[in-house]
Amino acid sequence: MKPSTEWKVLRWETVKGVANNDFTRVVALIPVVGYLILFNDEIAGMVSFDALAGVGEAKRSPFLLDGLTKLRLVFFGSLFVLCSFLTYRLFRPEVLEASKDGLEFSELVRQRYSVHELAQIEERVHSQSWTERTDAFWTVLDEQRTKKPLVSGYRPDARVQMFSKHGDYIGFLAREWWEGMMHTHRLARICSLMFGVGGYAMLAIPTLDIAQAVLRHLFTG
């Protein structure tokens, strides 16, 4: 069976870049404050960006969207970003918090993982329910690797000997496990990604509207 991987854009490592970054954590606070502003009629009625673009009350507004619409886009955009962040935090694989890719995780396994933890990983990877992900692990000298455990029989005090004898195998096993974890909870990955992209788009529209109005004022006087 040929290893199967999804597009990188749909895997957890890409979702993390969209849903869990410094900007996301700041924007996620906006709905809390925004709710108090957006749904307060007196404050919402005073919202105007005309002064920012250098337009007086008598002149036609250079904005494509009115102030309240921009506020709503910011509010709902940040709410979408918050949903993206929360979905990621709830369903993300733990290995993604410890390492950014399979090679880094493989090194982490060599340094910290016990024989018992490796045996658990090996058991899962060799189970019938596991979907094969990497050629490096499943193909040995152009032949399919047999699902024969090599770690499970070792005692905890034989860790050094185990790595000495099966170091390459364990390294490839760790990378196979990492790749498999990047494919878990497909629906959550897609939802987190869509919430994030949709939220950023909503946040970008008011910014672009303000930018075009200010630039028009600068270049047309």
14 and 44 share one domain: yes
70 and 127 share one domain: no
Assign residue 206 a region: left if phi > 0, alpha if psi is -120 to 50, beta otherwise? alpha
Most confident of 40-44, 128-132, 214-218: 128-132
Secondary structure (3-state) at 143: strand
Q: Is residue 3 part of a domain?
A: no
Which residues on adjacent β-strands are paired with residue 140? 143
Domain extent, residue 201, equals 8-93+185-220
Residue 131 CB: number of other CB atoms within 10 A? 11
Residue 195's pLDDT is what? 96
Integer Cα distance of 39 and 71 in angstroms: 10
Greater model confidence, 142 or 17: 17
Greater model confidence, 113 or 31: 113
Residue carrying the six token digits 């995780």: 105
Secondary structure (3-state) at 10: helix
Integer Cα distance of 172 and 175 in angstroms: 5
107 and 142 share one domain: yes
The pair of three-digit structure tokens given for residue 83, joined into one six-digit string? 């949903």
Q: How many domains does the chain have?
A: 2
Helix and strand numbers, DSSP H then E, in the chain: 11, 2
Q: Is residue 139 part of a domain?
A: yes
57 and 105 share one domain: no
Q: Percentage of the chain surpassing pLDDT 70?
A: 80
pLDDT, the chain, mean: 83
51 and 160 share one domain: no
User: pTM (2 decimals)?
Assistant: 0.81
Q: Strands (DSSP E) along the chain, which ranges?
A: 139-140, 143-144
Q: Is residue 1 part of a domain?
A: no
132-176 confidence digits (pLDDT tens) = 999 989 988 778 888 888 887 778 788 888 888 889 999 999 999
Residue 38's pLDDT is what? 56
Which of the 8 DSSP states describes residue 127?
S
Residue 40's pLDDT is what? 55
Most confident of 33-37, 92-96, 149-153: 92-96
Which of the 8 DSSP states describes residue 55?
-
Q: Is residue 2 part of a domain?
A: no
107 and 73 share one domain: no
Question: Treating both helix axes as pointing N-terminal to C-terminal, what angle do 67-91 and 30-38 enclose, rounded to 10 degrees?
Answer: 150
Residue 32's pLDDT is what? 59
